[in-house]
Amino acid sequence: MSPRSSTPPPPEDGVGRVVDIDVEDEMRTAFLEYSYSVIYSRALPDARDGLKPVQRRILYGMSELGLRPDRPHVKSSRVVGEVMGKYHPHGDGAIYDALVRLAQPFTMRLPLVDGHGNFGSLDDGPAASRYTEARMAPAALLMVTSLDEETVDFVPNYDDSLTQPGVLPAAFPNLLVNGASGIAVGMATNMAPHNLVEVIGAARHLLEHPDCSLDDLMRFVPGPDLPGGGRIVGLEGIRDAYLTGRGSFRTRATARIEKVTARRTGIVVTELPYLVGPEKVIERIKVLVQGKKLQGISDVKDLTDRKNGMRLVIEVKNGFHAEAVLEQLYKLTPMEDSFGINAVALVDGQPQTLGLKELLRVFVDFRTGVVRARTEYRLARRRARLHLVEGLLVAILDIDEVIQLIRSSDDAAAAKERLVSVFDLSDAQAEYILELQLRRLTKFSRIELEAERDELRRLIEELEAILADETLLRRTVSTELADVAKAHGTPRRTVLLESAGTPLTRTTPLEVADDPCWVLLSSTGLLARTSDADPVPTEGPRATHDAVVGAVRTTARGDVGLVTSRGRMVRVSALELPALPPLGAAPSLSGGAPLAVFVDLPRGEEPLTIVPLDDDGPGVALGTAQGVVKRVTTDYPGRADWEAIALKDGDSVVGAAALRDGEEDLVFVTSDAQLLRFPASAVRPQGRAAGGMAGVRLAPGASVVFFGAVDPAADNVVVTSSGSSGALPGTQGGSLKVAPYAEYPAKGRGTGGVRAHRFLRGEDALVLAWVGARPARAAGPGGVAVELPAATGRRDGSGTPQASVVAGVGAPVRPPA
C-alpha cells in the first residue's frame, strides 16, 4: 500500500510551521488504512492459492533458497531472516509462527513445510527458531511449480528492490484442503480442512459440468476431513456452510470402552476434536471431578507416544456404567466441540463469503488461467527454439560456404549481415550460427537436430491444440489434478455421522418405551427417574440422598421443568436421566446424576425444584426473596428455557410449587421467623412476562427463606432451623424445630403472618425452613440422612440444638390423584 502522505521539506528560512489537522479526519483516515492493511495484507487468504501474504512469502523465499524436499534441512531462523529481509518487513515472531503452522500435521491436512525438531503440539508451543530446521514439503512444490513460466504476476516487494509473486500457481485447492483462520477488522475467516482426493474429485467434476449443483459436489466432498480424525456429528450445518459460506458442525472424540485392568473398565480415546489437545481434556475432567459435576472417574492417564499415537485412558469406577460416563464426558468436556465455518477469502482483491461451489469455481478458473499462461509460455519458447534449430540445419547443409563466408567477413557484424542476406536467415538464426561450436558439425549432430526439430513440431502442435480448444484445456487441468490426487492423496480420517445429537454409546431413544415414571430431584442436586410408574414409597429405612425436594410424574420421553433462582424454567428430558431400579423402600437417588450434567446454569443461578410441564394444570406458584408471589399460567413455549417471572433488581426466586387443583395453601417463611399462609385462589394467574403481586409483608432487613404450596387437608409439618446470620453456611448445626402445620392460622395475602420460631441466645435468623407433608426428611451436605427432632405443639417455640448440619429437607412423593 502506498504511503498516505509524504513529509513536506523543511522551509528554506529554517523556521518551522504548525499545520492544523482535523483529528476526526486523521483518525478516520488512519483507521481505514490500518483496516485495509489487515484485511488485504495480513489476515485473509487469497481464494486462489489459499495463502495469506506471509505464508506465500515463506514458500517463495524457501523456493528461492533452493530448500527442496531432496535437499538438507536448514535452520528455521535462516528462512525467517530471508523472508523478513526481502519480502515481509514485520517481526520475526509472526513469520516463525506462520512457518510453524505450515509444518504442523495436526493443523494442516497437507503440510507445506517439512519441519525437523520441536514444532510444538496441541498443548505446547514450538522451540525457538534457532533450534528447529525446515525445508519445503513435497506438497509445497505443487504450490510453486511453473512459477518461472510467467504463470502469475510479480509485484514489487516492500522497498521496490525485488519482486515477489502476487499469488502462487497452486496445483491443488489449498484453501479447502488445509483450511484457514484469521481475524481482520470487522470480519474474520475460519475454514475447516478437507480431504485432497475428495476436493480434487469435486474440482474435476466442476470442470466437466460447470452447471452442476451443490448436491452433485457434495457427493465428492461430504464434509471436512480433520487432520486428527475424530467424528463429525450432524451434517445439516455442513450443508449450510457449503451453500452460504457460514455454518457449524460438532466434532466428537473417537473413544471405545475396554478393560484397562483386570478389575477396571476404561474409556480409551484415540482421536480428539480438531485442535483439542489431551492436556486440555485432562484439565477439564479434573475440574469437573473436583467440583462434583462429573462422577464415576477414578483416574485419567495420557499414554500418547509416537509409536501408538493418541491414547488417553479414562478409568471408570466400579459400579458406574462406562457408557453413561462417556456421555457426560461428551457433554461437559472438550471431547465434543463445535466448529464454526466462516468462509471469507479475497476474490479479485475483495473479501467475499464463499460456498463450496464458489470456492471451487474460483480455483478452477484460476488454475485454468495458470495452465493457459504456462502453455503460451511453453509454446513461445518452443517456437523460438524451433526457429533456431531450423536455421542451424540450413547452415549445416551448406557448412563449407558458411565457413568461407564467415572467414571472408571483416567482423562479426558483417558476417551476420551476409548470412542473413545469402541464406535468408533471421537475425536470431544468424547470431546462433555465429556462436556455433565446431563439435556440432558432425554427422551425428545433424541427426540430433533433425530429431529435435520433429519433436518440437509435435509439441508445438499439441500446445496449439490446447490453446485452440477450451475443452482440451480444461481436460488438461483435470488430468493434472488427478495426478496430484494420485501422488499426494490419503484416505479419509474423519467419520461423518448423520445423527444430529443421538449419543453413540448409549441405547438410542427409540429402544426405550414411553412408560410412565417419576422424575426425582434430591436436596443434593441429583436427578434420576424411576423405572416404573408406581407411587414412590414413603416408609422404610433412611438412605443417603433420600431427601427429595422435587418429584414429577411423567413418562420416559416426557419433559419436566427446572425452576431456577433467576425465575427461569429450563426444560429437562426424562429420557436423558439415569433410571433407578424399582423402589421398594424410601427413595434414594444415590444412582442419580448431578443436575449440572443436564443443565448448564450460569454462575450465581441456583436450581430450586422441578415442576410438570402439563398444559392443563392450574399452573405453578413462585415466591421471591422480597415477598412477591406469582401464579404462572401453563402456556409454556416449546423452546429449551424461558422466563417465568420478571424479577426486580436484587430479587430472586426462593421457591416454586406445582398446583394440583388450585385449592392449596401458599406458604411464606421469612428470615425473622414469620410464617404466612393464604389460599392459592387469592393469587390470580398471570402470563410469563408479569412480575407477580405482593405475597408477604417483610420487616426491615428480613427476607423470605422458604416458599411452597401444601394441601391444607393433609398432615403437614413445619420444619425451621435457626442460627446466626453472621455465620458461614454449613458451619454450625443450629436449632431445629418441627411443629404441626395446623397450629399456624391463615392470614390474608400481603400481611406479615405469625411467629413460627423463637430464637435462642446467639441466634438471630432462620437459616432454613420447609413446609410439607409428613414424614419430613432431612439430609446433610453430602446427602447423608439427618434425623429430625420430634414434633412439638408450640408454633412459636424454640428449636432443639443439632450437631449435624441440615442442607436440605424433603417430603414423600404424593400418590397420583
In the β-sheet with 754-755, what is the strand arrangement from edge to edge?
704-710, 665-670, 674-679, 754-755
Helix-then-strand count for the chain, H and E = 17, 42
For 539, other C-beta atoms within 10 Å of its C-beta total 8
Tell me which amino acid residue 758 is: R
Q: At what angle do helices 412-423 and 356-397 cross, to 10 degrees?
A: 90
Task: Give the 3-state secondary structure of residue 57.
Answer: helix
Question: Which one is catalytic: 34, 36, 131, 158?
Answer: 131
Distances from the Cα of 789 to the Cαs of 719, 735, 743, 792, in angstroms? 10, 10, 17, 9
CA atoms of 569 and 289, how far apart (whole Å): 27
CA distances from 110 to 58, 196, 228, 253 (A): 16, 8, 12, 21
**Cα separation, 148 vs 127, whole angstroms:** 34
Residue in the block written with cell 449419543: 503
CA 161 to each of CA 1, 55, 61, 152, 742: distance values in angstroms, whole numbers, following the listed order: 15, 20, 15, 19, 97
**Per the structure block, which three cell numbers stand in for 245?**
459460506
Within 13 Å of residue 674, how many CA atoms lie on the same side as its CB? 19
Per-residue DSSP letters for 294-311? Answer: S-SEEEEEE--BTTTB--
Cβ neighbours around 725 below 10 Å, total: 12
Q: How far apart are the first and last CA of the chain?
A: 79
Spatial separation of the C-alpha atoms in residues 464 and 469, rounded to whole Å: 9
Q: Is 87 a catalytic site residue?
A: no
Q: Of 706, 764, 708, 707, which is closest to residue 735 (Cα–Cα)?
A: 764
Give me the helix-helix angle, 399-407 and 356-397, nearest 10°. 80
For 788, the grid coordinates are 429430625
CA distance 496 to 48: 28
**How would you classify the pairing of strands 754-755 and 693-694?**
unpaired
* Residues known to be catalytic: 131
